[in-house]
Structure 1
């Protein structure tokens, strides 16, 4: 299926002897051609460019949801969906029963076996060690809740440990203690501390789990609320960017910021023409949450170069921008639960939509089964024809859900609906009648109809919802 190809490069001398007297400097140019090789059926190299799909759209003037629509959408979603919460609305005191219930919700011992990377099966004693660090005995009758801002991208974990564990199949890409990630500038409520003091049980806007305390800055609730309410802000629109390098301020220097991170801008009256030994003319000045040695919050000014992939305020929610944002992740390795400094299928979707200001639940089932948006739902009795009827009428940005996975619709090529998604496996029937099973393990562009989960079950067979987020769906929560 895969072809081994080598570039065919030729040097082209553009300099002619008779031009030498009148040309000051002309360099030799080189052109290279390379045969495209792929294990993905029916996808050409041209289709791996955002511009290819954008050219099929025409105008970029129609905005599906205005900023006011999106704000209303989020407000209604937070009010009606149990998987989205405002962490600052957390009760400031939790009873012992309430806190134990939350810990058990995330840190329960799995019913199936788990294994370390060397194949050793976790024993009861191993789980007892992790459970002991939950610090249940340290829970009081009444437990004050603290609040904080994330100062560094950090993993949210099932248990307060970085130990990696796996299912019986020993797929070392799927760490079963890895849940998701939090990002700089996000607010969290801090519910509990591990026995070793190194971990915090936190609730962000769409997840509850354990995070390393070194990545959270604890602050005053009102200060955090004011920080989040800033009207002038910068949104990261690249897959990843970094703050500027600063030689004497390591905590502000080259801080990674992922797509969708939102940081307030320093007000014009507070800006400095020179800062950290350099001019600020070519940089944005943003308010970055940092953590003092005692763990408390400090809001400091960081610099982000104006050539970085960022945007003043949220991007306009248009088909052109949806495609552009999705392709910025193309080729990034799949990261279960935001592992590998990357993201999985729902992380991929969530980060794209955050650049428009749209927030969604974390897991695919929570998204797919959620009532928000316009939903085209299917059940076990739905026919392939009924699904194809909806598929043939999809719009760019529509989200396609199968159990445990989500894809985003790009467009159609010669009658073949095409999607972009962050996906691990790849399977389909070849024209020769052979069943191909391989690996993508990355953000990939693929056809939809041809993809299979196994020899007898296609992706289309398992589609249970197609979700559309437009202005018409705001009232449909």
Structure 2
């Protein structure tokens, strides 16, 4: 009977009989079943086969998987960069007061009219009157000559903005994707220095370790600096190593129930004895107990125990910094939609890179230009034009897993080679290359993607590889 079936009906019967154990030969090499595993995979990305979308494919090609940097070396790496890199903020050594003249450059760096037109979602251009209204919301006139620095911990994932507003603006009337008032994201447990507040009192002008912008007050709990430092330095700590995990549901305290925690979030651990073997009505022995910062009704900082199931993708302490682990971490974001400045509950190219490296304890500047042009890590710099093309090519031939490749406004991570072609994983919007007929193809990626490097173009006259201006090696 089976021999008389054809096409989809035959495959369905074969699958059913194999699942029921009624066929003796149900091997992986059965042609109809093997092809079904691809689920009709196809792509307009050149040089990509389905196995390449697995970290295991690239891990098999690693020559040396030894640990690159120890925890002590990484700690020194961060200490040195926090002290010297202008795009990183050493909050531990921030003074208790700042002069008005010290704050204004930070404020002006993000809260300023764009040089080119901006448009609201309804297509209306942002006018000079709109910018004047936004400027008045900054509360500049309330700035004293000397500012007292206040302190807080972030209690939920939220956004840092160019202005103290949720209004969304875009570069083009037809664009609805990249909100140009979106600067970056913040995450539970991040320490923030609170430097100023908006005229309406609803926003902080806040500084974290690598950014300063406007943050809703509802996302922050304020507290004494000493208490926050104690919490930040408490060990051991649980590090989120999945793209996202959530705290356990509990019916007792909604502030700690199903709270989203993104990759790289670090929280101090508590013991079951400290928690009293009962956390919000659940025995904690099958979960990790973390000390979570929460906000009381007046915005003040409190700490409460919360549970994260031991089955979740987390680590006690940072992960060992090895190429195979780096690849596994990067591929956990594969397919996530692109989110400019951590919009869409996602991340952009540098947000993706930064979150991956935070699982090893490695901190870096926020934006691609800040990363690429700084010397926070050993760097090869390349000049524009043909003069440095030979040096670029030699550098591409020596790429190792995890090396960071910078082009204007973008960063990519090297993951390995196939038949001599270097491949990268990156969080990217567009796709441009010449197809087999010699026509320029423009496609969309808008997510964390694996691509080859050399076939891609920026524009009809510019190869992507010719625009590489820096390659960094954190090893």
TM-score in terms of structure 2 length: 0.92
2:446 — aligned with what?
441
- Is the 1:88–1:147 contact (alpha carbons within 8 Å) kept by the matching residues of 2? no
Select 1:414's aligned residue among 407, 414, 419.
419
Q: What CA deviation, in whole Å up to 9, does each residue of 1:158-202 have, x standing for no partner?
A: 000000001136422111100001111110100111111111000
| Change in CA separation of 1:16 and 1:405 when aligned onto 2, cut-off 3 Å | closer
Distance in 2, Cα, partners of 1:7 & 1:359? 55
Cα distance, 1:270 vs structure 2: 1.4
Q: What CA deviation, in whole Å up to 9, does each residue of 1:76-116 have, x standing for no partner?
A: 11111011112243332233333333322221122221110
Distance in 2, Cα, partners of 1:143 & 1:310? 39
2:430 — aligned with what?
425
Select 1:10's aligned residue among 4, 9, 12.
12
Distance in 2, Cα, partners of 1:7 & 1:367? 55
Q: What CA deviation, in whole Å up to 9, does each residue of 1:107-128 have, x standing for no partner?
A: 1122221110111011121111
Distance in 2, Cα, partners of 1:16 & 1:158? 61
- Is the 1:88–1:189 contact (alpha carbons within 8 Å) kept by the matching residues of 2? no
Distance in 2, Cα, partners of 1:73 & 1:7? 60
Distance in 1, Cα, partners of 2:10 & 2:409? 42
2:394 — aligned with what?
389
2:5 — aligned with what?
none
| Change in CA separation of 1:196 and 1:18 when aligned onto 2, cut-off 3 Å | closer
Q: What CA deviation, in whole Å up to 9, does each residue of 1:444-472 have, x standing for no partner?
A: 000000010011111111001110011xx
Cα distance, 1:8 vs structure 2: 9.5
Matched, 1:50 2:51: no
Distance in 1, Cα, partners of 2:307 & 2:449? 33
Distance in 2, Cα, partners of 1:372 & 1:138? 36
Once the two structures are overlaid, the 10-residue window that deviates more, 281-290 or 100-109, is 100-109
Cα RMSD, aligned residues only: 1.9
Matched, 1:66 2:70: yes
Distance in 1, Cα, partners of 2:103 & 2:153? 21
1:475 — aligned with what?
none
- Is the 2:248–2:258 contact (alpha carbons within 8 Å) kept by the matching residues of 1? yes
- Is the 2:124–2:173 contact (alpha carbons within 8 Å) kept by the matching residues of 1? no
Q: What CA deviation, in whole Å up to 9, does each residue of 1:345-393 have, x standing for no partner?
A: 0000000000000000001111111112221211025343321111011
Distance in 1, Cα, partners of 2:63 & 2:186? 36
The DSSP-based 3-state class of the residue aligned with 2:297 is coil
Distance in 1, Cα, partners of 2:413 & 2:22? 55
Distance in 2, Cα, partners of 1:18 & 1:174? 54
Matched, 1:203 2:207: yes
Select 1:222's aligned residue among 212, 222, 226.
226
Distance in 2, Cα, partners of 1:184 & 1:8? 52
Cα distance, 1:140 vs structure 2: 2.3
1:379 — aligned with what?
383
What 5-or-longer segments of structure 2 have no aligned partner?
1-7, 25-32
- Is the 2:170–2:180 contact (alpha carbons within 8 Å) kept by the matching residues of 1? yes
The DSSP-based 3-state class of the residue aligned with 1:274 is coil
Q: Aligned ranges for residues 343-354 of structure 1 at < 5 Å?
A: 343-354=347-358
What 5-or-longer segments of structure 1 have no aligned partner?
1-5, 20-29, 471-477
**Number of residues paired by the alignment?**
454
1:402 — aligned with what?
407
| Change in CA separation of 1:165 and 1:279 when aligned onto 2, cut-off 3 Å | same
Q: Aligned ranges for residues 97-246 of structure 1 at < 5 Å?
A: 97-168=101-172, 170-246=174-250
1:27 — aligned with what?
none
- Is the 2:403–2:471 contact (alpha carbons within 8 Å) kept by the matching residues of 1? yes
Distance in 2, Cα, partners of 1:130 & 1:337? 20
- Is the 1:88–1:221 contact (alpha carbons within 8 Å) kept by the matching residues of 2? no
